Structure 1
Amino acid sequence: MTAPSSRISDRIGSIAESATLAVDAKAKAMKAAGEDVIGFGAGEPDFPTPDYIVSAAIEAAQQPRFHRYSPAAGLPELRRAVAQKTTRDSGYVIDGEPLAPANVLITNGGKQAVYNTFATLLDPGDEVIVPTPFWTTYPEAIKLAGGVPVDIFAGPEQGYKVTLDQLESVLTERTKVLVFVSPSNPTGAVYSPEAVREIGRWAAEKGLWVVTDEIYEHLTYDDAEFTSIAALPELADQVVILNGVAKTYAMTGWRVGWMVGPTDIIKAASNLQSHATSNVANVSQMAALAAVEGSLEAVEKMKTAFDRRRRAIVSGLNAVEGFSCPTPEGAFYVYVDVREALGREIGGQTPQTSAELAEIILEQAKVAVVPGEAFGPSGFLRLSYALGDEDLERGLQRIQELLA
Structure 2
Amino acid sequence: MVGPNVTLDKIPRLDTRNSSVDIDLIGIAKNNIETRSAAVAFMSYNTMENLLKPDFFNTSNDTIKTMMSTVISATLPKTTNTKLTKPVNFTLKHIREFDPSGSLSCVYWNISEWIVDGCSVLETNSSFTVCSCVHLSTFALIMQTSPSESDLELDLLNLVCVIVGLVFFSLALLTFVLCQWSPGVNNVARINLCVSLLLAHLLFLLTQQFLSLIRPQKVLCDVISGVLHFLFLSGFVWMFIEAVLLFICVKNLSQISSKQSKVLSSGFLCVIGYMVALVVVGVSAAVDPKGYGSEDCWIKKDNGFIWSFLGPVCVILALNTILFICIIINLNLTLKNLNAEVSQMKRTKIMAFKTLAQFVVLGCPWILGFFTKDNKELEILFLILNSQQGTFIFLIYCFLNDQVRQQYRKFFRCLCCGLKSNTINCVRKKH
Q: Where on the TM-score scale, by shorter chain, does this alignment land: which range?
A: under 0.3
User: Which of structures 1 and 2 has the bigger CA Rg?
Assistant: 2
Q: Given the two structures, how large is their TM-score scaled by the length of structure 2?
A: 0.24
Q: Which has the higher contact order (CA 8 A, sep 6+)?
A: 1
